[in-house]
Amino acid sequence: MRVILLGPPGAGKGTQAVRIAEAFGIPHISTGDIFRENVRGETKLGGEAKRYMDAGELVPDEVVVGMVADRLAQADAVDGFCLDGFPRTVPQAQALEDLLVDRDAPLEVVVRFLVDHDEVVQRLTGRRSCVDCGAVFHAEHAPPKDEGVCDKCGGELVQRDDDTEDVVLNRLDVYRKQTEPLEHFYWERGLLRDVEAVGEVDNVTERALGLLREYAS
């Protein structure tokens, strides 16, 4: 299964990608997570990405495309992947298409998560993320058992630097301008499918898995 999850910040891409990856035995590849790991590890890539991320702007295409090409070349991604947060611009989508043509393994489906603006602002400002394993919670919708402590690994839960209201609003603006054109790009190729991404997390998962089973070989 070769799938992309498309949708605005806060649509639930990361939350659902973990479940989709597990259901189909494919790697979950989140460019945002890779950047955050690099920021934590204080690598050169992390240093370069951080100033864009903190402002809610996109990291330049050439940086992201090279990083994803390396990741997709790893053995676990040969038979499939669930991409979360990539591509985010038309040049990134074009680069991915070229890469997959070369591998003779085209994309099978692009799932667009539908959710409205007010809901995503509310989700993102309430999000809490684990500093150690990256697991995602929400202060009200998906609280951890013990406040401030990750259920999965016991790590500390914090608010992401880019989840403050002003940066969230800029990220949504950047999404509208730079990422929304991908909807047309994939619609033209007959790959775009919609999932209603509001309501209980489990119900969204059921809808997404139901759709993706049509593509599972």
d(CA 186, CA 182) in angstroms, rounded, equals: 6
Selected range binding Mg ion among 13-21, 148-156, 163-171, 198-206, rule: CB under 5 A: 13-21
82 is a site residue for ligand AP5 (CB under 6 A) = no
Burial class (CB in 10 A: 0-12, 13-18, 19+), 36: buried
10 is a site residue for ligand AP5 (CB under 6 A) = yes
35 is a site residue for ligand AP5 (CB under 6 A) = yes
d(CA 51, CA 58) in angstroms, rounded, equals: 10
DSSP-derived secondary structure for 175-196: IIIIITHHHHHHHHTT-EEEEE
58 is a site residue for ligand AP5 (CB under 6 A) = yes
Residue whose C-alpha is closest to residue 1's, from 73, 77, 71: 77
By beta-carbon proximity to Mg ion, the closer residue of 79 and 155 is 155
Burial class (CB in 10 A: 0-12, 13-18, 19+), 90: middle
Selected range binding Mg ion among 12-20, 38-46, 160-168, 195-203, rule: CB under 5 A: 12-20
Which of 31, 111, 182, 212 is in the footprint of ligand AP5 by CB under 6 A? 31
| 13 is a catalytic site residue | yes
Helix (H, G, I), strand (E, B) or coil at 68: helix
80 is a site residue for Mg ion (CB under 5 A) = no
86 is a site residue for ligand AP5 (CB under 6 A) = yes
- Distance of alpha carbon 12 from the chain centroid: 8
Least separation in angstroms between CB 30 and Mg ion: 6
| 127 is a catalytic site residue | yes
d(CA 9, CA 31) in angstroms, rounded, equals: 13
Which of 99, 100, 131, 142 is in the footprint of ligand AP5 by CB under 6 A? 142
Token output for 184? 């047309």
By beta-carbon proximity to ligand AP5, the closer residue of 18 and 104 is 18
Q: Is the dihedral of CA 56, 82, 15, 156 positive or negative?
A: negative
> Which of the residues 19, 36, 50, 88 is marked catalytic?
88
Least separation in angstroms between CB 85 and Mg ion: 6
Q: Which of residues 95-134 bind ligand AP5 (CB under 6 A)?
A: 123-124, 127
Residue 80 interface partner, choices Mg ion, ligand AP5, none, CB cut-off 5-8 Å depending on type: none
- Catalytic center residues: 13, 88, 127, 160, 171
